[in-house]
Amino acid sequence: MNQPTHSSLPVDAQMLRDKDALLANYHKTRDISVRMTADLEVEDQVIQTCEDVSPTKWHLAHTTWFFETFILLQFDQSYTPFNDQFEYLFNSYYNAVGPQFYRPERGFLSRPTVTEVHCYRRHVDEHVERCIRQMYEADWLKAAAILETGIHHEQQHQELILTDIKEVLSHHPMHPAPFAGPPKREVQDASDLDWLSFEGGLTSIGRHIGEGEPFAYDNEGPLHQHMLTPFEIACRPITNGEFLGFVADGGYDSPLLWLSDGWAARQNHAWTHPHHWHCQDGEWFQYTLHGLKPLVKEEPVCHISYFEANAYANWCNARLPTEFEWEHASRGYASHDGNFFDCSKDPHTGKVRGPSPTVSAAAPQSLADPFGSVWEWTQSQYAPYPSYVAAQGALGEYNGKFMCNQFVLRGGSCATPYGHVRHTYRNFFPPNARWQFSGLRLARYV
Amino acid sequence: MNQPTHSSLPVDAQMLRDKDALLANYHKTRDISVRMTADLEVEDQVIQTCEDVSPTKWHLAHTTWFFETFILLQFDQSYTPFNDQFEYLFNSYYNAVGPQFYRPERGFLSRPTVTEVHCYRRHVDEHVERCIRQMYEADWLKAAAILETGIHHEQQHQELILTDIKEVLSHHPMHPAPFAGPPKREVQDASDLDWLSFEGGLTSIGRHIGEGEPFAYDNEGPLHQHMLTPFEIACRPITNGEFLGFVADGGYDSPLLWLSDGWAARQNHAWTHPHHWHCQDGEWFQYTLHGLKPLVKEEPVCHISYFEANAYANWCNARLPTEFEWEHASRGYASHDGNFFDCSKDPHTGKVRGPSPTVSAAAPQSLADPFGSVWEWTQSQYAPYPSYVAAQGALGEYNGKFMCNQFVLRGGSCATPYGHVRHTYRNFFPPNARWQFSGLRLARYV
Amino acid sequence: MNQPTHSSLPVDAQMLRDKDALLANYHKTRDISVRMTADLEVEDQVIQTCEDVSPTKWHLAHTTWFFETFILLQFDQSYTPFNDQFEYLFNSYYNAVGPQFYRPERGFLSRPTVTEVHCYRRHVDEHVERCIRQMYEADWLKAAAILETGIHHEQQHQELILTDIKEVLSHHPMHPAPFAGPPKREVQDASDLDWLSFEGGLTSIGRHIGEGEPFAYDNEGPLHQHMLTPFEIACRPITNGEFLGFVADGGYDSPLLWLSDGWAARQNHAWTHPHHWHCQDGEWFQYTLHGLKPLVKEEPVCHISYFEANAYANWCNARLPTEFEWEHASRGYASHDGNFFDCSKDPHTGKVRGPSPTVSAAAPQSLADPFGSVWEWTQSQYAPYPSYVAAQGALGEYNGKFMCNQFVLRGGSCATPYGHVRHTYRNFFPPNARWQFSGLRLARYV
Amino acid sequence: MNQPTHSSLPVDAQMLRDKDALLANYHKTRDISVRMTADLEVEDQVIQTCEDVSPTKWHLAHTTWFFETFILLQFDQSYTPFNDQFEYLFNSYYNAVGPQFYRPERGFLSRPTVTEVHCYRRHVDEHVERCIRQMYEADWLKAAAILETGIHHEQQHQELILTDIKEVLSHHPMHPAPFAGPPKREVQDASDLDWLSFEGGLTSIGRHIGEGEPFAYDNEGPLHQHMLTPFEIACRPITNGEFLGFVADGGYDSPLLWLSDGWAARQNHAWTHPHHWHCQDGEWFQYTLHGLKPLVKEEPVCHISYFEANAYANWCNARLPTEFEWEHASRGYASHDGNFFDCSKDPHTGKVRGPSPTVSAAAPQSLADPFGSVWEWTQSQYAPYPSYVAAQGALGEYNGKFMCNQFVLRGGSCATPYGHVRHTYRNFFPPNARWQFSGLRLARYV
């Protein structure tokens, strides 16, 4: 953060500017979490319907706990915790910090109330502001990186707040619509499914991590060479309409299209269509954060597991791209240029709008929507890059310990906060996960 | 209800008086449900920690649904339901009414909110008032009995609200105290454990059910003769102090004291003491609705399963009474004369007081606390009395279909609303249930 | 056993005669266990398909362990166990003896082999013979009662061997037929369903238990008075044909006919007909120990749970009898006079015949088949009789600790060994048990 | 198989020679399966203790079903199945063939008996011999490849027979020893843990698959280039003694050493040491196929999950090799030169010897025991190589559909049949699997 490149200023002045910029980003990010949940009922924010999802108020508290634990308790000797129990209640999985409240019972936590959680947020925000402002350079060099990590961490939880509340409310037979609908837009036909060709050979994957580099998670590095076989990749994600073809053709009843574990999951959970789809009297609907809506065939298919993505690809004699192919193919596209979640309220209703995946028209021989829209499952199991070393201390638990039985997703979704993803960004979920905004883009060998 | 015995008045005038009395009781009971939950946080009222317990707001809505379904939709042709979905959401187990929302997921119901549930209550209360007032005699003869059943039904749920919220909040490591403590009182030593002797022979059990009789549940009848063997019964319930003796003597590690199913339950759940007890640094505490408090040895032991009650009785070479012995022995004691739950607020704090079991000094050769204090497990499995016939229609599902794998408890507890129980009252729970205010009183053969 | 009433002989001579008689019975019973399993494959005898059923070889070893533990190790100082591990492996549930191998994993016990189990049986039989022969009078007075209990215990396991192997083999899609079919017999139409009336009033239930009395289990006593309401009981059990009426009328889809726990069981297990029934192309078959056979409508319905028996009774506006009514009504019928299991081989094939329930023509105003045929579910939950005291020592665990969440069955079945049951005999199983030869007989109030 | 390179003979003569060779291999392999199970009791061969393991008799039948299904029913028009039910009973997971008997209940299959399974084997062997002998060239070209696959398939099941029976018998508290002990040998100290260095760069991975190539599974191809980072690999596997150091240092109580899923598995299953280890009075023992034996510190650690291997590597600041590093490093070592399972009987006892992992002295700067001894977990999740295409037809289900949530193991174990593995051989198991002979070898970046 304290980069020599822009230090024509004296160190102190530069540090002040850096603090200004980072704290502005901090407060902006923190504020988004508050605004995006402002239209939810208190009752909505308490419920946990399965181990994977957490209550909204837990997310709001946990992201706060992150700053309290890693900034305030590290750098402010005079700070006393807002509540002694919160270290235990809101630690997600950091064994280096201490024991954690049992994850499947986060929905049993009657207290703190939503109101108290907002008090906690304001309390920590004030202390973080003061602590950072008063910090000398030696601490600042360390704290700045953690503060930036905390901001990105909060952005990740903003997406989880959306996917989790969607999951929670979807259990309700009345299909509540907590958010206003997306802005009216022309639904356009999806482009033809064109293919882009790549020659293969050695390519650079990932990026340098560490001091003096722009922010990235440790799992995005080190930068290294990877050998690619010639391949083709589809110009856009698969749409709901195309996926309906798979459904209609008996894709969910054809074990030969599925991975063995995938078929077992399909049987155990009686999957017959993507998550959040409903068939009523022969018409297809999709539960969205603005209620139950007719399925839009032109939009990307969403809320599918890796297993369904993989079966779909087998059905059309294609495959999913590797994460390396994806990264190689998307190089040169602007990662902030997509349909990301933006918490600004609808000017007409004053309400926050729920996210919704879209698909754009692809220019000839170029990728449509590589960023935003839907997370794209890759066929790459989540693994460390060569020479990867996890960060020291508790933050080393952030990424590395999950490198097992998960698949990498790339590109970001309509529920990802604006500005959060990069070309090298590696999201990851178990192959049976369906509650994220996850879709697919096809690839094939030449 | 329209009883000839007090009909010196013309029929119409008598009906008006009956309506006045019953509606007054209706509103008083409905009001208690509101007041007793007024100090709970909204968050508290959403949570379900296991299938047995229901969220507070579910209880508040379900008791309302009862009147909407069995009074308004039966007797008011012009009534339209407050919300079409509520028939499904708040039907507990009445198959004759229709399908029911899946019980283990009541805690997933984000909506209606607590505020909306209170609207629903007020809406139904107003319509019940109007409906009853406008009712002609033919309907009134039917409706009065159902209205009275609904009032008693709501009282049962008032006790469940207390036991369920205690269960829910007990999962929280911070031991929240939603209610004010009980009034200060002198803790007195428990009386000696004296025994009262009874000769046996034929005795009358239960009571007449039906028109012209004061209210009772159908399971309390018919009145019939039962043959008793000579027996003795203890003058008071077993205390915490006495139960500590069982704990200290290894009662929880002695399989020979336990029923086979009881030992399996003790092993599966790792029971080592009554529910809601905590041992911290060698000191015993008990979680109460006014927080974690030192265990009072003089108070009746509470929150034990039938299995624990039975093991304790074996440990001291005694047994539990049958429900027939209990009813025979308690005849002559006033059933409204106990430590029942009373929703009146604490005059000093203005807050509702949480219930707490007590024990009184027993007069010589008489029972202390047969009513109120703790529900007393009997050794009688819950079964129909000879010639029992369940009520017609949906209300026939109220009692009869549960006559399997449950044991009868008698006497009422400190969480039972004042005026709710009778000598013939038969409460019932499965033998592993511990979240009720359940204790024990010993018996033995001579 | 050493009863003064037949002691015109000198004590020693009487004891020798008693020993002769009891040992003859011992060897005859032990021999039946061997013969009845002789046609099974070794593979059949290893398998356990659920916690309730045990492998054949486990039964053969456990009944042997009973005599080794309670006779040889008690009365023969010089005896060393056949194998030190067997105390642990073949103890069923006697906590007073010591810990037990985990019941759900009895099917994981590769060793001892079937051959070794038979060695164990012969070893114990020889030592029991010698031990009893050499025993002096003081020991004999104690040992005789235990030996007799052990014989009855082995008879109970003979029935379990049959029901368990039927359950195990029923999981096989090839429907193996380990036993020869029953003797050819004329299938006769079932009698009309006549009713026998009883006046009610006090009746004697159970019997005296203890020294000088013929053998009975402790749960059959004490003899006591019970008050009966006037009732009627059906002259014969319900037949397969009658039960098909219930199936055809949607009985399995009518929750209002079922107990609450029963409906839950029916839903969880997807019951749509009695256990061991199969519908193939619209024809009904029943799996029997002599293979898959067309359902015989005239035979008693069998392999139903208490829940199904109760639902059936509700369907025809009747009920199940109490065990007291059953005992009262069956007094005067010969308990050895039924269709019991007899291990004698088929004279034509030389093979043991598999048991099969039958129904006889009832004489006017008398019960058909109260004993043998099928176990008849009663509505009585299994509970101690007044003043019941379990036996001292480990054998006190035989009956008393199971008095919870079980229902009493009366009368014995076609799989019960000849000579095993009595008027006062109380069999008991949980209400969801279906793998026994259990059926029903209706009762009703007048 | 019908390779141009050795076809100086006329086609027919060459085909006869090829048939001779392949059938000889067929019969030799089939015979080993019989001999290796000859000392097991019938009872041992029936039991399944968890879904992963199958009964011995199921393996013996399934490998036979493979030849019946893919050779006889494909190439012999006149063949009728030995038993119509076997297609269903012994199909493991080939959805293209048809439905499969429910895997977790293979241990419920009483029939066919072990004796009948051996009849089935002989029947199929005779028909395979005849069928192959009578086959014309067109069929032979297809059948030869399938026959060879079937032989390798049977070898895989030979290893599973050993690991499964070890798992089954390990549940027995008497620690049965079905096989004779390994030959007496000098236990030698393990070599120092030296490291071999490799430079990295592009390397060839895998091999050509298909006609004219020596046998390999489809998952070993295609041959392709992979980019390696410079690395070091340990000269030998980790020993029991070294792993004891991890145990003693609290490795099983240090969540920071474990993957997140690994720590969950360790908690759920209460792992505190490798599978099949036992600590008795402070001494360590290991259950082996020749009984419970003192742990030999010099032997490779075995029966550990990927999670344990990974945690161990973290504990010593190293890591597991990728499968590419492993393949690169092991090139040049003879893959038949290891401690493989050999079914020849012990000359002294005439009994088959149970396998046991060993470690050899490593020559300087070379790998000890890359083949045989223990399967070595790699950090590579099991994934398709670039351009991988599964085989057509049912055999396409052999490998590809398992490429999810499994990790690759390399090198073969002491339970792998002699001649079965190759440099390119990819074994795979889920990361929590412990019942295989699986150990680890360390790697690190330079």
User: In this predicted model, what pLDDT tens digit does every residue of C401-412 receive, in sequence order?
Assistant: 999 999 999 999
pLDDT at B3: 42
Nearest neighbour of B381 by CB, restricted to C306, C383, C402: C383
CA distance B360 to B235: 11
pLDDT at A446 over 50: yes
CA distance C129 to C122: 11
Which of the four pLDDT bands, split at 50, 70 and 90, describes residue A6?
very low
CA dihedral sign of residues B74, B76, B77, B81: negative
Smallest CA-to-CA distance from B421 within B309, B335, B318 is with: B335
pLDDT at C223: 97
Please list the residues that pair with A203 across neighbouring strands. Answer: A226
pLDDT at A359: 74
pLDDT at C364: 83
Residue of D nearest to C47 (CA): D108
- What residues have CB less than 8 Å from B25, skipping those under 6 apart? B151
Q: Complex ipTM, two decimals?
A: 0.94
Does D110 or B400 have the greater pLDDT score? Answer: D110
Question: Average pLDDT in the D380-399 region?
Answer: 89
pLDDT at D159: 97
Least confident of A66-70, C190-194, D154-158: C190-194
Chain A residues in contact with B105 by the CB 8 A cut-off are 49, 171
CA distance B174 to B167: 14
pLDDT at D8 over 70: no
pLDDT at D195 over 60: yes
| Average pLDDT over all residues of chain D | 93
**pLDDT tens digit sequence for C358-405:** 777 778 889 998 999 999 999 999 999 999 988 877 888 888 899 999
Question: Average pLDDT in the D84-107 region?
Answer: 94
> What is the residue-wise DSSP string for C289-302?
TTEEEE--TTSBP-
CB B89 within 8 A of CB B61: yes
**pLDDT tens digit sequence for D244-297:** 999 999 999 999 999 999 999 999 999 999 999 999 999 999 999 999 999 999
pLDDT at A390: 85
CB A70 within 8 A of CB A398: no
CA distance B118 to B134: 24
At residue C292's C-alpha, the angle toward residues C288 and C351, to 5°, is 55
Question: Average pLDDT in the D399-415 region?
Answer: 95
pLDDT at C6 over 60: no
Same fold, B13-169 and B195-445: no
A224 vs D226: CB contact, 8 Å cut-off?
no
D110 vs C172: CB contact, 8 Å cut-off?
yes
Fold of D195-445: paralog of FGE (formylglycine-generating enzyme) (3.90.1580)
Which of the four pLDDT bands, split at 50, 70 and 90, describes residue D7?
very low
C-alpha distance from residue D29 to each of B246, D207, D213, D222, D374 (Å): 65, 25, 21, 28, 22
CA distance C67 to A333: 83
pLDDT at A185: 66
C-alpha distance from residue B233 to each of B183, B238, C404 (Å): 30, 12, 22
C43 vs D47: CB contact, 8 Å cut-off?
no
Please list the residues that pair with D76 across neighbouring strands. Answer: none
pLDDT at C8: 54
pLDDT at B185: 66
C-alpha distance from residue C306 to each of C261, C269, C375, C379 (Å): 11, 15, 11, 8
Smallest CA-to-CA distance from B178 within B335, B352, B374 is with: B352
pLDDT at B186: 65
D43 vs C113: CB contact, 8 Å cut-off?
yes
Question: Average pLDDT in the D334-353 region?
Answer: 84
pLDDT at B333 over 80: yes
Which of the four pLDDT bands, split at 50, 70 and 90, describes residue C185?
low
> What is the residue-wise DSSP string for A140-165?
HHHHHHHHHHHHHHHHHHHHHHHHHH
Dihedrals φ, ψ of D378, to 5°? -110, 165
Does B33 or D337 have the greater pLDDT score? Answer: B33
**Across chain D, which distance is largest between two alpha carbons, in Å?**
71
End-to-end CA distance of chain C: 44
Smallest CA-to-CA distance from C199 within C372, C402, C438, C446 is with: C446
**pLDDT tens digit sequence for A24-41:** 999 999 999 999 999 999
D383 vs A387: CB contact, 8 Å cut-off?
no
Question: Average pLDDT in the A262-270 region?
Answer: 97
Residue B184's CB: how many other CB atoms inside 10 A?
6
Q: Which structure tokens are listed for D368?
A: 């000890």
- SS3 at position A372: strand
Helix, strand, coil shares of chain C as percentages rounded to 5?
40, 15, 50
Which of the four pLDDT bands, split at 50, 70 and 90, describes residue A192?
confident
pLDDT at A11: 67
- Subunits in contact with chain D (3 or more CB pairs closer than 8 Å): A, C
pLDDT at B364: 83
Smallest CA-to-CA distance from B253 within B332, B295, B178, B315 is with: B315
- SS3 at position A370: coil
Whether D225 contacts chain A with CB within 8 A: yes
Question: Average pLDDT in the D182-190 region?
Answer: 69
| Average pLDDT over all residues of chain A | 93
Using only the alpha carbons of chain A, give its radius of gyration: 22
**pLDDT tens digit sequence for C74-98:** 999 999 999 999 999 999 999 999 9
| Average pLDDT over all residues of chain B | 93
Which of the four pLDDT bands, split at 50, 70 and 90, describes residue C5?
very low
A261 vs D226: CB contact, 8 Å cut-off?
no
Say which residue the tokens 């009703």 belong to: C444
**pLDDT tens digit sequence for C200-219:** 999 999 999 988 899 999 99
pLDDT at B50: 96
CA-based nearest distance C61→chain B, Å: 22
pLDDT at A398 over 90: no
C43 vs D113: CB contact, 8 Å cut-off?
yes
CA-based nearest distance C204→chain B, Å: 11
Report domain extents, chain A.
Answer: 13-169, 195-445
pLDDT at B436 over 50: yes
Which of the four pLDDT bands, split at 50, 70 and 90, describes residue D410?
very high
Question: Average pLDDT in the A248-275 region?
Answer: 97
Which of the four pLDDT bands, split at 50, 70 and 90, describes residue A196?
very high
Which of the four pLDDT bands, split at 50, 70 and 90, describes residue C253?
very high
CB C307 within 8 A of CB C246: no
Q: Which structure tokens are listed for D171?
A: 């549940």
Give the predicted TM-score (pTM) of the model: 0.94
Q: Is A306 exposed, middle or buried (0-12, 13-18, 19+ CB in 10 A)?
A: buried
**Chains B and A make contact, 3+ CB pairs within 8 Å:** yes
The H-or-E segment that residue D444 falls in is: strand D443-445
What's C13-169's CATH class? mainly alpha
**Chains B and D make contact, 3+ CB pairs within 8 Å:** no
**pLDDT tens digit sequence for C266-325:** 999 999 999 999 999 999 999 999 999 999 999 999 999 999 999 999 999 999 999 999
- What residues have CB less than 8 Å from D108, skipping those under 6 apart? C47, C49, C168, C171, C172
Residues counted in chain B:
446
Whether B372 contacts chain C with CB within 8 A: no
Q: Which structure tokens are listed for A228?
A: 């690619």
Share of residues in chain D with pLDDT > 70 (%): 96
Helix, strand, coil shares of chain A as percentages rounded to 5?
40, 15, 50
Whether B204 contacts chain C with CB within 8 A: no
Say which residue the tokens 């991590």 belong to: A209
**Chains A and C make contact, 3+ CB pairs within 8 Å:** no
Q: Which structure tokens are listed for B384?
A: 């129909």
Residue B362's CB: how many other CB atoms inside 10 A?
20
**pLDDT tens digit sequence for B256-268:** 999 999 999 999 9
**pLDDT tens digit sequence for B62-74:** 999 999 999 999 9
Chain C residues in contact with B401 by the CB 8 A cut-off are 258-260, 263
Least confident of A285-299, B175-189, B233-247, D95-109: B175-189
Residue of D nearest to A393 (CA): D256
Question: Average pLDDT in the D164-193 region?
Answer: 85
pLDDT at D3: 43
At residue D305's C-alpha, the angle toward residues D324 and D48, to 5°, is 120
Does A433 or D396 have the greater pLDDT score? Answer: A433
pLDDT at D87 over 90: yes
Question: Average pLDDT in the B375-382 region?
Answer: 98
